[in-house]
Structure 1
Amino acid sequence: MCFGCTTPGGVSLRSDGSPGPQECPEKALEAMRILNLRVGDGATVDLDVNQSLTSPITLYDGPVESMLTNSLGPLPPVTRLYGRVWTGGPQVVVRYYEAHPPDGEPFPLCAVARLAHGQMQKKPESTPGTAILEFSRAGVYIVNSFR
């Protein structure tokens, strides 16, 4: 473990390897205000477009491309969300930093993937740097900072 280390993206790591707090950039907050995306707005997302409708799925530390399966405010289904996965802690952490609507320009945002009842918890057979999850879909929620 590397408690207090910082990732290449400038995110500090907790003692369990999960990412620490991170502010949402002002440009993302502004873009979300313009699009009327509010904290707590949510939708469903395929966590990894390469593993849609697969069970179980394996996520890897690093970049991820996800896809909305239903609308999130003005963002239609098939909007791509780009972010990062951390598998170091007991729960997988997915933070999204950019949205690419199908017929529009990419823009910054702040969102997280979540599932209730501990379902973002990785399976025991997950190896370091990976997380095996039961489901390929999760909720995605707008946030104003990452905790």
Structure 2
Amino acid sequence: MEALKLHVGDASLVELDANQLRSKRITLYDGPIESVLKEEFGTLEATTRLYGQVWTSGPQVVIRYYEAHPPDSVKLPICAVARLSYDQMKKRPESQPGTAILDGSIAAAYVVDAFR
């Protein structure tokens, strides 16, 4: 993370799902996810792709990012999670098992030292 000039607690806005950009309501599924940075994040430029995993089994969606892929560069390891305050990662009641319907497509990716 030091090579990327990122430290625990650093954050940047992301479009949660590269296939549902700027949507007012999105549906996420258990499994892999590709997100897109909306702004610079350490040495990572906007439009960098973040790859990770989604879990929808609880009341809120959990997204962990393992890899960043900057444009015109190689993939790099990363340790980050998607977060929003005020229950904004909370699933809508009509979400079916294995899915999460969210009111918005943007969250913040926060650097963490480990997944808990």
TM over 0.5: yes
Moved over 4 A (4+): none
In the alignment, which of 66, 69, 79 is matched to residue 110 of structure 1?
79
In the alignment, which of 88, 94, 101 is matched to residue 132 of structure 1?
101
**Residue 36, structure 1, aligned to residue 22, structure 2:** no
- The alignment's TM-score, normalised by the length of structure 1, stands at 0.78
Paired residue type of 1:109: I
- The alignment's TM-score, normalised by the length of structure 2, stands at 0.98
Number of corresponding residues: 116
Higher helix share: 1
In the alignment, which of 78, 91, 98 is matched to residue 60 of structure 2?
91
Cα distance in 1, alignment partners of residues 104 and 9 from structure 2: 22
In the alignment, which of 13, 17, 20 is matched to residue 51 of structure 1?
20
Percentage of identical aligned residues: 60
Higher strand share: 2
CA RMSD of aligned residues (A): 0.6
Give 5+ residue unaligned stretches, structure 2: none
**Whose RCO is larger (CA < 8 A, sep 6+)?**
2
